[in-house]
Amino acid sequence: MNEINVSVSVPKAIGESSKITMFGTDSVFNIITNNTSSDVYERIFTNERKFNRFVLVYLNGERIKEPSTMLSNINNEIDIIIPMAGG
Report the run of H or E that residue 28 belongs to, with start and end: helix 28-35
pLDDT digits (tens, 9 = 90+) for 68-77: 999 989 999 9
64 vs 56: CA distance, rounded Å:
8
- Grouping H, G, I as helix, E, B as strand and the rest as coil, residue 22 is strand
For the cut 60, the answer to whether the pLDDT of residue 85 exceeds it is no
pLDDT at 5: 94
| Domains of the chain by start residue, with CATH | 3-81 (3.10.20.30)
Number of H helices, E strands in the chain: 2, 5
User: Which tens digits make up the pLDDT trace of 12-51?
Assistant: 888 889 999 999 899 999 999 999 988 888 999 999 999 9
Q: What was the pLDDT predicted at 14?
A: 85
Per-residue pLDDT at 59: 97
